[in-house]
Chain A
Amino acid sequence: MKYSYIAATLAICAGAIPLLTVSGTAQAGSNPPFKQTETRESCDSYDSLKQPFFGELHLHTSYSFDAYTLSVRNDPNAAYEFAKGGEIKLPAASARGGGPQTRTAQLRRPIDFAAVTDHSELLGPMEICTRSPKGTTGRDSLQCRQMRTGEVRPGNPNSFNPTGVAALWAANPIARPNGAGPLRPLCNGANCKAADVSIWQSIQEAAETHYDRSSDCKFTTFVGYEYTAQPLGSNLHRNVIFRNADVPFLPVSNVTTRGPYPPVLWKKLRNRCVDKPGSDCDVLTIPHNANLSGGMMFPDPADEEEAAERAFFEPLTEIYQHKAASECRYDREAQHGVQTKDPLCTFEQMINDILAPQADPPDIYNFPPRNMVRNALKDGMALAEGLGGTNPFKYGLIASTDSHNGDPGDTVEQDFQGHAGSTDAPVIPMLSNVRLGPGGLAVAWAEENSRDSIFEALRRKETYGTSGTRPVVRFFAGWDYESGMCGQSDRIQLGYDGGVPMGGDLSVPPDQGDKPRFMVAALRDTNSARLERVQIVKGWVTESGKTRERVYDVAGRERKYSRKYIQKVCDAQAASIGQPTVSLPTRGANELCTVWTDEDFRSDRPAFYYVRVLETPVCRWSTLSCQSAGVNPFARPKVCQRQATRANNAAARAGEIGWGEVPFDVCCLTEQNDPFFEPAIQERAWTSPVWYAPGG
């Protein structure tokens, strides 16, 4: 083939990193409140009272072994393009070995920042198998051919099983329970290291290329990766997010830490990044899916030092993503929760308590309490007393997607087309993953859209997570906010002046007997449903060391919704697919704001308070999918089952499934027959808590 100069030109383009010669110009002649660790222009759009930036801190691309084998071919560059509003291709349900890519996806509303976080453990092998030229050592190995074909026995079409290939690849470097056994499926020594370096550099180059260092500040990227530890299927994954372009030579992976030991991860990140002499390296590790950690995500710290290291490296955790919510858990059939009576804790739950398939998942009475972030927040305060006052679980909250499609921020319920390539494509494959969802967004309150400004917002936990929509939520805690504050146009200034924002620590009461006051304001997403109510979730520790919680409705009110109303919402959503906006019924509020006092406050007991904002319900993605196939979850159970059977038979006749398979039966899951599932979804936001500790 004669590609000659074109290929050469492309190679040069791909290798070029823009030279950064522009020096920072100070904003409005003053020093910004955040430390500047990189050379860039300051932002034209700057607000000392901060702006909400919507983003994604958990996203996989074709550099992740599991995404690639599921025929995803969007690399980090494609992913960042998507975040900025570009179009990507997605594989068909029938895709194998990367084709055909018949679906497209595009964000109607771009996001403000994103980090691509590919699995770090197998980056080198991915480089060799999918990005190296022919003739490279290892490229023709069994594992590489598996990766490229999705066939367990490459060349044998019968053995096509992409998730099986991914499981084989993960067996040693990721899933092993301890430090024993071989680490690499196919490469070793210098060859492997060179490959690791090459792909890690490509990840950094993509982040650099798409980071807007001009004063336009349109889009921020972060260099990152996912630390993928899952001993015996218990999910201990963490996304590692770097502050700037000053990053370690290689990721610290589960292989580097010789097994699933987060404290080793922090120690190595301290040596190679935070404490590295003469460097501006800084880093966070963000745990996700505590709900699938088998109780291991938030263990009692070994000692004060471990507690302090966790608190330093992990200011945030994901409370929601495509593998469901980790906030809290309530089983409506058992009428029992995991240390909670909060009925809204049925929201988006997985059945299992670990990542791996489980024959016999624990019931609600035996579910590990610390799989749920709310319980860890409570326990952290109780543990602090024995750890020299260090709360090891002082987590702020964000959400993200964890999508493996290279589509950051792709969270609109009615536009959802799966997150795992060919195995999660519309409609039947997606329905086989019916408890998964489109995931959420991370929101940072920052002065400007730059790495330093957003990173510091993450560090100080001035963040919230949403289940995918874009409400604007403010939360302040102080001692003498006035009741009329919501009506004042300078309420945000007053909030900062008289207290602390979300993620902060409430000071000790100025006078004996003072009660803390909270100002919470929420503005709805104009492209989603209106707001139903705002809640404050309080957790505290009693004199006897027991943990307690209470949920207060502080603005708006609980409402009931008829099936007819929900159906109207579903129809509006279905009509909006492919349209720029959705026109939903106008029940609920545009804005809710209140100043609330904790009358139950005890100045001698530690407590936290976070805000949960609930929208009015919309149709869940699965309901829209089912209805498009003629199965209505809102129909009477018998009718729904009849429709499902008809859809199953039609799919079998069309050869999409085998006879006897019943993918559409999940369409008839409802509140009446499932402990958690709901065909309608109340989108929501969770803010980082504000903490109070006696004596400060």
Chain B
Amino acid sequence: MLPALIRAPVLHFVLLGGLLFLADTVWQNRTAAGHADAAGIPLSISASDIDQMRRDFFVQNRFPPTPEQLSAAVETAIEEEVLYRGALDAGLDRDNEAVRQRLVQLARFVSDDPDQDPEALYRIALDLGLDRSDLVVRRQLSMMMRLAAANTPMTGETPPDDAELEAYLRDNPEKFVRPRRVRITHVYFSEDTHGAAARRRADKVLRSLRDGRLGPDQAVEAGDPFLLGHHLPWRTSTELEIHFGPSFAEATDDLKPGTWSGPVRSGYGWHLIRIDDVEPASLPPLAEIRDRVLATVIADRREWRVRETVEQMRSQYRIEVEWPSPDRVSATGVRSDG
């Protein structure tokens, strides 16, 4: 149940190291205006930031990011920063107990007199710009701003009515469609048993099936026994893929019912397939799935509000992205190509 204790000292180390470094930079950038001046600072992502993103991605996913994935990571970083700055502008950092507690704690770290009154420590933290440098505070604030944006209706927005739900269902059928289902009879030719001859045998039995010399049951007997049976119950393409593999599932997508086709390759060997019954894909009427459509529309709207809000806020900042030069190689040995 409980995995090994996390190496807390490491975190302290990282935190402290980060603090000293940031305190230094913040000191140099400090302005007299306090902390509501974020708009004046250009929003820049440096080449080394991007290299770090690439490394993080590799470590998380065990494969290097494609240029698109790396761009997406950069976009996310910009979005987070914009949201964070928006939170400062909206004053979400003020009267925020979580942020305040965190800053008081941080000030104890760096202050000469850690025992002084929390209010004074809070002031010290603000003077040092810790509200801007601490990653936890930044993350907390951008998260709050994101929630606020998601939950605040845009000007003129009205609650979704049935007409909107109908339209949504019509425009996004793929999200609600009941997929095509088939019932299949198949004859199996094992590669384990026949090797390369499996396919020739399949061809031969197919000819006999087509010219009527063999009925379906005789054909099944002429092939090899298959552990999941020869008459499969209703299956969608996705379900067929689980055992038979993608090529088999895809092959059934285009088959017409009632006729024998093949041979089709699966992960096991070759198959002759007859579709006995098809239930085409269908879109249920709104009345049947109203709750699902409504939930999806609301979720979409929340995302849209965040996008719109970020878009508006972005226009206030000068955004500078410094892409690393193509021949740089990162620490993981992955050649960068962004």
* A contact residues vs B (CB 8 Å cutoff): 1-7, 9-10, 13, 16, 18, 44-47, 49, 51-52, 54, 66, 85, 92, 96-97, 99-100, 102-103, 109-110, 119, 155-158, 160-164, 166-167, 170, 216, 228, 230, 235, 237, 355, 357, 417, 420, 422-427, 429, 432-433, 436, 470, 472, 474, 486-489, 491-492, 521-527, 574, 577-578, 580-581, 589-591, 593, 624-625, 628-630, 650, 654-658, 661
Contacts and interface: CB of A to CB of B under 8 A. Distances in A.
A624 B6 contact: no
A186 to B, nearest CB: 19
Interface string B39-56: 000000000000000011
Contact of A523 (B17, B228, B242, B245): B228
Contact of A96 (B136, B238, B246): B136
B129 interface: no
B105 A157 contact: yes
A487 B220 CA distance: 12
A18 B292 CA distance: 11
B225 A489 contact: yes
Contact of B102 (A100, A103, A157): A157
Question: Which of under 10, 10 to 19, 20 to 34, or 35 or more describes the interface residues of B?
Answer: 35 or more
Interface string B99-131: 001101110000000000000000000000000
A46 B231 CA distance: 11
Nearest to A580: B246
B10 interface: yes
Contact of B13 (A491, A580, A630, A655): A655
B15 interface: yes
Contacts of B148: 1
Contact of B7 (A3, A492, A629, A658): A658
Contacts of B226: 489, 523
B62 A625 contact: yes
A395 to B, nearest CB: 22
B268 A161 contact: no
Nearest to B66: A578
Given A13-B291, A474-B227, A66 B62 contact: no
Contacts of B191: 590
B66 to A, nearest CB: 10
Given A16-B291, A488-B225, A654-B331, A6 B105 contact: no
Contact of A5 (B15, B102, B159, B269): B159
B297 to A, nearest CB: 10
**Dominant SS at the A interface?**
loop
A574 B1 CA distance: 29
A126 to B, nearest CB: 15
B278 interface: no
A251 B151 CA distance: 35
B60 interface: yes
A581 B245 contact: yes
Contact of A163 (B3, B192, B230, B268): B3
Contacts of A45: 233-235
Contacts of A658: 7, 9-10, 13
B213 interface: no
A654 B331 CA distance: 9
A590 B267 contact: yes
Interface in B144-173: 148, 151-153, 159
Contacts of A99: 139, 143
Contacts of A166: 2
A49 B143 CA distance: 53
B196 interface: no
A75 B33 CA distance: 44
A454 to B, nearest CB: 15
A47 B225 contact: no
A582 B139 CA distance: 38
A376 to B, nearest CB: 21
Contact of A228 (B1, B17, B181, B298): B1
Given A472-B228, A489-B220, A590-B267, A1 B152 contact: yes
Contacts of B227: 472, 474, 521-523, 591, 593
B223 to A, nearest CB: 8
Residue picked from B4, B12, B178, B333, most chain A C-beta under 10 Å: B4
A235 B1 CA distance: 9
B245 A526 contact: yes
A462 to B, nearest CB: 15
Contact of B60 (A426, A492, A523): A426
B35 to A, nearest CB: 20
The 8 closest A-B pairs by CB, nearest first: A526-B267, A45-B233, A3-B151, A155-B101, A523-B227, A526-B245, A45-B234, A628-B62
B225 A9 contact: no
A60 to B, nearest CB: 9
Contact of A100 (B11, B63, B139, B178): B139
A160 B11 contact: yes
